[in-house]
Amino acid sequence: MIMKKLREMNGIPCSCGKTHIFKSEIITGSGVTDRLPDIIKKFGASYPYILSDINTFSAAGRRICRLLDGADIKYSSFSFEDKHLEPDERTAGAAFMHMDPRCDMIVAVGSGVINDTAKILALHSKLPFVIVATAPSMDGYASMTSSVTMGGVKTSMTTRCADVIIGDTDILAKAPKKMLAAGVGDMLAKYVSICEWRIAHLICGEYYCEEIAELIRTALKCVTEESKALLRGDTAAVSAVFDGLSAGSIAMNYAGISRPASGTEHYISHIIDMRGAEFGTSTELHGIQCAIGTLVSLKLYEKLKNFVPDRDRAIEYVDGFDTDAWNDRLRSLLGRSAEGMIALEKKEGKYDKEKHRNRLETIIENWNEIQRIISEELPSSEVVEALMTDLGLPTDIADIGVDKALLPEIFLASKDIRDKYVLPRLLFDLGIADEFAESLIH
């Protein structure tokens, strides 16, 4: 149903004024990896580069190498030996350096980091690119961006989507339950992302497409309904969840921005990752961190339902905001990686007082509409927490080894990751950011 809707939207002028285009082919089903030799030949390739890591090579890479051997297709293969691979300059550089210059196609075998790295390779090499998914653990298979760490800052880099995305349910169903649950966690984030997209459209005049938003809602419903069967390894559920996750990333392509699929919850995850890269502190799978970030966001949105904007309070808060002191707090939280965020803010000017006053007036004038959007888009935190518990997902950052006392700072810092209007920026504009952040640990 989801993929049918996607195909119906593809290339057709939309009510939002855009014509949404997605050119990649998505192949799902039992045993579809066996079609890889024919896909390689279809692109006129004869010497593919097989990219994997120590886990994904065992999951599917070895099978793919044997498949190509049987089809008499020569290839070059490189598998990262790191047990915990980071999507950063080092990983991308290693992937490039191990790539035989004679290779005429990229075949990536994996999920998050391998997929993001292969997209960078495909962009710069301009070679045909196939991704063989090994887990329905995240929604980035069909997106045209890579989530990477550059200069210590978690960045969404414009890259290239795979020409062919293979979701073999025989492989996906065997993924560790933790990774299956992480895929659901990544989808739970869409509750918040759609809500914040609508709010940003209202306050900042940002582009918004209701048809894309409805597509995400449909995908989210499908994934949550199939989540329990997914953990049992039910192949029909695996296929439905993989399609739902793919729909999430295709929606980003259709919109031309990441809005349909990520918001505050993703930025909380990014801050956790940045601390991990800088200080070696604990991190978890992206989807698991996003699920926790979703729960944090939902609890604060619920608190916001009982708030009435106070113009004088908001102006006093922003007028008294000390940017230098805040930058020092960022440095304490994130070390050297804070410098990239500080430099980004100098370009964005989100703390500009005149801009704040203009946004504040829009917020006050449209407060009832903002409350309506929150009520329409967001489930209760209790419902989501119960679902997470059923799936075995942690519900607190302390459960993944992150000091809970840092949660207020992590939440507040999430507003500086991107130039995107999200919950911590709304709370900042209302003059209640610190108060709400502190409520997370009380």
**pLDDT tens, residue by residue, 226-280:** 888 888 888 888 888 888 888 888 888 888 888 998 999 999 999 999 999 899 9
Q: Which two tokens stand for residue 383?
A: 């419902």
Residues 384 and 220 sit within 8 Å (Cβ to Cβ): no
- Domain layout of the chain by residue ranges: 2-176, 181-441
What pLDDT is recorded for position 231? 81
CATH of domain 2-176: 3.40.50.1970
pTM: 0.90
Distances from the Cα of 232 to the Cα of 25, 176, 183, 286, angstroms = 28, 11, 14, 21
CATH superfamily, region 181-441 = Dehydroquinate synthase-like - alpha domain (1.20.1090.10)
* Locus of tokens 């840092």: 406
Mean pLDDT of 349-360: 94
1: pLDDT strictly greater than 70: no
- The helix or strand, by DSSP H or E, that contains position 230, with its residue range, turns out to be helix 210-231
Out of 84-93, 213-222, 323-332, 359-368, which region has the weakest mean confidence (pLDDT)? 84-93
- The helix or strand, by DSSP H or E, that contains position 158, with its residue range, turns out to be strand 153-158
**Alpha helices, DSSP H, located in 126-234:** 169-172, 177-204, 210-231
What pLDDT is recorded for position 256? 84
Q: Count Cα neighbours of 89 within 13 Å in the Cβ-side half-sphere.
A: 4
Interatomic CA distance for residues 193 and 262, integer angstroms: 5
**pLDDT tens, residue by residue, 398-440:** 999 999 999 999 999 999 988 899 999 999 999 999 999 999 9
Q: What is the band of 3 on the pLDDT scale with cuts at 50, 70, 90?
A: confident
**pLDDT tens, residue by residue, 41-72:** 999 999 999 999 999 999 999 999 999 999 99
